[in-house]
Amino acid sequence: MADRVFIIPLRSDMAGVGLNLGDLHPNAGQRNSIYDGTSQNNYIAEMNDRPGATVVVGTAYVSGSLTTTLDGTHNDIDDDTTGGGDNVSATQATAFGLAAYIWDRVDPGGAGGAATDPMTVAQANTMAAAIVTIAQAGGALTLAAINTALSLVVATTDLDGTAATSDSFGTVREVLRILSGEIYRLPLLTILGDAAAISGDFWPLATRQVLVTAQTSTIIAAQGQFYASGSFVAATDNGFRRRPTLVPTGAFNISNSLGIIAGYKAATFNMLNSHNHAYALADVTAWKPRATNLAGTAILATGVGAAIGVYNHLGTAL
């Protein structure tokens, strides 16, 4: 879909409070199933998990954060996909979220012209945090803006491989999908590049796919199933979170300028969900976490703070 709008939840205290996009159309209760498209009057969903540890079994989510903080247990190491010796560098634990996406799909420094190794997990965490900071501030998440943020961590890095020398294969749309709450999974044994003992170079998707296709049942049994890249989890997967597909209709434009969406994204938006969240450190319990925004800053005790950010498919803040 060429034209799409993305709503990014910016507060951890919104789940279950019923913030509804009630002035969008088609309305589910009034929709003509023959003539109208998908209903647009959805509820604002929960914010992305804050970065943290994720418990997995193989490639399956079990518990913990769906925004994995990458650490040494995830590091890519030399591995063998053919039985002829180490020929790839592959991840060693499954991870979820934006940092995992960046680590998988972004060639660090590749736009600068020289062959580069896959980035470190620390660099991926830092790049993801930089993009989240932009989203929290309501800044542009265009390709140019994202490239600038990535390049402040590793110079001459781009998201999508536009530069002839870059093997990156990310997209702005996918970054927005993750920020809006869809879950990206990077499985263990995902090939990131050549074995370090050979060249260590970050590889594009097509090169990885050749090695994945060449696997035999014997290799899979001995080494495990290798993957060419991660993907968004499906409705049948543990950890799946459904997000609506919203489009820039006339009703959306009015709501975004003057209506319900305008109210939710305003810095003056005020809400206290004291039943489930604490707004003072002294009130935090095992059952009432501190209410924070997407960037991890505590929500004011008054409950004032924007609930959402709104972007078009190009990453322009609306």
Q: Name the domain boundary from 200, 232, 264.
A: 232
111 and 40 in a common domain: no
Q: How far apart are CA 300 and CA 107, in angstroms?
A: 38
C-alpha separations of 86 from 67, 81, 115, 216, 286 in Å: 30, 7, 20, 16, 46
Number of residues that this document lists for the chain = 318
Asked if residue 30 has pLDDT above 80, the reply is: no
Residues 195 and 219 in one domain: yes
Q: What letters, b where the CB count within 10 A reaches 16 and e where it falls short, cover 58-91? A: ebebeebbbbbbbeeebebebbbbeeeebbbbbb
Q: Is residue 240 in some structural domain?
A: no
Q: Are residues 159 and 212 in the same domain?
A: yes
pLDDT at residue 304 is higher than 80: yes
Write the pLDDT tens digit of every residue in 56-99.
999 999 999 999 999 999 999 999 998 889 999 999 999 999 99
Asked whether residue 262 falls in the same domain as residue 117, the answer is no
Show the domain range for 157.
54-232
Name the percent of the chain lying above pLDDT 70.
94
Instruction: Read off the tokens for 292.
Output: 């924070």
Q: Which residue has the higher pLDDT, 8 or 245?
A: 8
Distance between CA atoms of residues 111 and 164, nearest Å: 7
- pLDDT score of 31: 54
Tens digit of each residue's pLDDT (9 = 90 or more) over 116-157 = 899 999 999 999 999 999 999 999 999 999 999 999 999 999
Domain co-membership, 38 together with 59 = no
The encoded tokens of residue 137 equal 């501030």
pLDDT at residue 28, rounded to an integer: 47
Quote the number of domains for the chain. 2
